[in-house]
Chain A
């Protein structure tokens, strides 16, 4: 063996390791010497400078049912081989295999402090689970993409094996991990923005520094014909919660929403309510929470018969850096509950 060859351990599932198909999905972790299956193609591309010294294999079903224990076992089987780099898959769009690859990589990275990499299709649920901890190379959605993925994965393994610095996702070809890195630009943001605007005004192509998400449009719902029998619900993203924030809704990036009873409550007062929203000056909302969740006004409109009923629960989350995915999830869930409770309309307040 040539000196200074970096050592690689590869992880495969039972299928790619040629042990069997679904019938062998419950195979517990085992290790084979050298490269196996697609590992051989990987080895070929690594050439003389790197060697796949072992391949750890586990059945997809077994791993999915014992994620933590299986990942630990993978580390246990891999470490005697003293790997410099660990590579898993690629798993394409396979869910269980993707999780096995991600979890194995994460465990190897955490326990042995070595660089790790895997390959997944962009819709593989394992992507979001592991992208922060593990380099993940984009692949096609099935093994038809193996031919195409191997050289890219090998190139990445090679860089890791040589201890080279890994640059930005767009340069190196891996999924952005969600880290922000400060960089110095040659011109101020103001200058870059004006230059971009001038190009836009001239109808010339320009490159945005930050792609804006597109939001889906929902057709407007039918209006409420008569308010007098109607049940109206209050919902807020302004973070008005019972004093003490009992459900610990986060001040930013809320992971949840909550419902609280306002049955018999005519007015929100600072001894019983507060805001937990971290994105605006809380002074005014804490002085009088009705300024964000207009309970007193809604209650008086119920009392005078303008509306039939103010729904007994109000829903709250914090709209500060809420992920779009969560916002959609919360909205849908709240709407379902309100519909099930025969609420006729909603006043949603935001700060």
Chain B
């Protein structure tokens, strides 16, 4: 039952308020999974890591709302 969802969100307090159970903080509002300051391939690596973090969150059992900050 249910469908595990991870919220990669720029504004963590909003994500917590609306009730997301698995939250990964994103980089910034206009580029949650990017950073235009970085050279292209560094940015891609950053994005890949964020998505991997999101997948790890999906693999983690949680009993309550959890922010995967590390």
Contact = CB atoms under 8 A, between A and B. Distances in A.
Interface of A: 215-225, 227, 232, 235, 238, 280-285, 287-288, 290-292, 294, 296-298, 300-301, 306-307, 335, 338-339, 343-351
B59 A224 contact: yes
A107 to B, nearest CB: 39
Contacts of B59: 223-225, 227
Nearest to A216: B19
A238 B34 CA distance: 13
Contacts of A238: 32
B64 to A, nearest CB: 7
Nearest to B35: A291
Contacts of B61: 220, 222-223
Interface of B: 1-11, 15, 17-19, 21-22, 26, 29-34, 36, 43-44, 47-48, 50-52, 54-55, 58-66
B30 A221 contact: no
Given A283-B30, A347-B54, A220 B3 contact: no
Contacts of A287: 36
7 contacts: A221-B21, A227-B59, A285-B31, A292-B31, A294-B47, A294-B50, A296-B44
A350 B51 contact: no
Nearest to A349: B8
A256 to B, nearest CB: 20
B21 A220 contact: yes
Given A225-B59, A292-B32, A350-B15, A345 B51 contact: no
Contacts of B8: 294, 347-350
Given A221-B3, A292-B33, 17 more contacts: A217-B19, A218-B21, A220-B22, A220-B66, A221-B5, A222-B4, A225-B59, A227-B55, A290-B33, A291-B32, A291-B34, A291-B43, A292-B31, A294-B8, A301-B52, A344-B3, A347-B6
Contacts of B10: 350-351
Contacts of A216: 19
Given A219-B2, A225-B59, A345-B58, A298 B36 contact: no
B18 A291 contact: no
B54 A221 contact: no
A348 B47 contact: no
A301 B51 contact: yes
Contacts of A348: 5-8
A227 B57 CA distance: 11
Contact of A297 (B1, B9, B29, B47): B47
B53 to A, nearest CB: 10
Given A224-B4, A290-B47, A350-B8, A284 B36 contact: yes
A290 B44 CA distance: 9
A301 B53 CA distance: 12
Contact of B64 (A220, A283, A343): A220
Contacts of A307: 55
A32 B3 CA distance: 59
Contacts of B2: 219-222
A343 B50 CA distance: 20
Nearest to A282: B30
A292 B11 CA distance: 14
